[in-house]
Structure 1
Amino acid sequence: MSAVVFIPARYASTRYPGKPLVELTGATGRKASLIQRSWEAAQGVAGVSRVCVLTDDDRIRDAAEGFGAEVLMTSSQARNGTERCAEALAQLGADPEIVVNLQGDAPLTPPWFLEALIARMQADSAVQMATPVLRTEPGTLANFVTDRREGRVGGTTAVMRGDGTALYFSKEVLPYVGSLEAPPEVWHHVGVYAYRPEALRAYGAWAEGPLERAEGLEQLRFLEHGWPVTCVEVEARGRVFWELNNPVDVARIEAVLQKEGIA
């Protein structure tokens, strides 16, 4: 099965403008931009034939080409990464069997997260769209709760049916946690998606729904239009996963780079 990885990146982020070019310092003192570290993470994924950065911004294009990435330019009308992936799909000429969307703000994404999505779709041709979920460990859950108490929008949680298909995704902590002393099981949604080409094309033709608009979560458009989203449980294997959503996350991610010895 052929699989490609797209890394959508936009400069005009509402919460953190210019964040793809923010430099992160690794364990050796090496400084590399957020988009470079996300691209480097994709290079370690097995079974992928092509990795492309998707952007509408010349600054991001120039930076990405500077560190050796292939760049596909997409329109400024793309409202989210999935729409950007749908535009880029049309530029490939021939369809791959699977398109993986690795968010450009998630440099701590381990390769086995993406590999798990590819394997799940290889095993079941009925799965049109899949995304990883992670059992939330105490430190991450505490960050979720702190962010919400302090008025920041941080990570995303997922609520699922027994068969692993999604009921809902939210930037609130779901289910209700209450006391952190004995919290219910909370699933951290990892911002990676895998699609069949037909699912991407369908998505691009749909209007944005009210839940997607309210939450700012692109995957809700699939649910609002009646398409199942398959959640694939992945394991951290001791790694801490966190996206760069706000300026405060720079220190959090750099702390993980130091701890893990990532240059």
Structure 2
Amino acid sequence: MSGDILIVIPARYASQRYPGKPLAELRGAGGESKTLIRRSWEAARRVPSASRVVVASDSDEILETARQFGAEAIFTSSECRNGTERCAELLGTLDSEPEIVVNLQGDAPLIPDWFVEDLITAMRADASVDVATPVVRCSRTLYDKLVADEKLGIVGGTFAAVSSAGNAHYFSKRIIPHFDVAKADNAALPVLLHIGLYAYRPAALRRYMAHQPTELEQLEGLEQLRFLDLGAAIRVVEVRQPEWEIWELNNPSDIPHIEASLKVMGLE
């Protein structure tokens, strides 16, 4: 019998690039303004399988803002180095253990509900999977842009190299794998762009927290690499792309792009 699905929205106030961004205001299709953390919470609430949605933060201001719009909000330590650690700490405070914990990051309000549902389906279909995360296939237009950006030293995304069994070999902020683009099918480039959304088994989260950050994790700045160093099986799930662009809010300049996608989605 399937158990509960807990969606955690990790959010911190002290972002280096954009301090206080969970409280940034975003206008919807009808002009209504809502904070980023509220829009991320609403995205989580649209997931049909979600049993419980919790905002996890070390900021009293973020927690109080979340409670005011009706969210369950729980304090987690400022010592958490990333969203996975915040999810793991929250797990340790619960009275009952969920079947799966989903990390829907607090700066990604445009995540479609089927991304989460596809991860849950993949994990329930294979008990050997410790973690699941989505990717979308890169178009030739986007690939050419990313290659040009990379030559200029601009990091344009995170990429996954995947085994024939569907599990991650590696993730990198460099474009992987290498291939002869002249021989590639433009309709199906072998480049998988990673979406920063994760589903975990509780046991995998506890194992993650029992180890310090690993060298590759720190070099790439990618939290999921700790799982690979520990030998965890990360199932990479290719998901259907939505009609809107998925932007994360990393800088104030991202706000117009997110608001444009909210309009396409028809969200107030």
Give me the TM-score of the superposition, normalised by structure 2: 0.90
2:206 paired residue number = 201
2:7 paired residue number = 5
Moved more, 121-130 or 70-79: 121-130
3-state SS of paired residue (2:8): strand
Cα distance in 2 between the residues matched to 1:258 and 1:138: 26
Cα 1:63–1:176 shift into 2, 3 Å: farther
1:63-100 deviation line (CA, Å, top 9, x unaligned): 11111110111011000001001100011111111111
Moved more, 171-180 or 59-68: 171-180
**Structure 1: segments with no counterpart, 5+ residues:** none
How many residue pairs end up in the alignment?
Answer: 263
The alpha carbon displacement at 1:101 in A equals 0.7
The alpha carbon displacement at 1:142 in A equals 6.0
Give me the TM-score of the superposition, normalised by structure 1: 0.91
CA contact (8 A) 1:6 1:100 kept: yes
Cα distance in 2 between the residues matched to 1:114 and 1:33: 22
Cα 1:36–1:224 shift into 2, 3 Å: same
| Percentage of pairs with the same residue | 53
Letter in 2 for 1:74: T
Cα distance in 2 between the residues matched to 1:259 and 1:107: 13
Return the match for 1:106 from 86, 105, 108: 108
Does 2:85 correspond to 1:83? yes
CA contact (8 A) 1:132 1:189 kept: yes
3-state SS of paired residue (2:227): helix
Cα 1:20–1:144 shift into 2, 3 Å: farther
The alpha carbon displacement at 1:124 in A equals 1.4
Aligned-pair RMSD on alpha carbons?
A: 2.2
**Structure 2: segments with no counterpart, 5+ residues:** none
Cα 1:177–1:262 shift into 2, 3 Å: farther
1:211 paired residue number = 216
Return the match for 1:187 from 171, 187, 192: 192
Return the match for 1:259 from 249, 259, 264: 264
The alpha carbon displacement at 1:253 in A equals 1.3
Return the match for 1:165 from 152, 157, 167: 167
Moved more, 145-154 or 187-196: 145-154
Cα 1:11–1:140 shift into 2, 3 Å: farther
Cα 1:114–1:29 shift into 2, 3 Å: same
3-state SS of paired residue (1:52): strand
CA contact (8 A) 2:146 2:156 kept: yes
CA contact (8 A) 1:154 1:245 kept: no
3-state SS of paired residue (2:203): helix
CA contact (8 A) 1:11 1:20 kept: yes
Cα 1:245–1:136 shift into 2, 3 Å: farther
Letter in 2 for 1:241: I
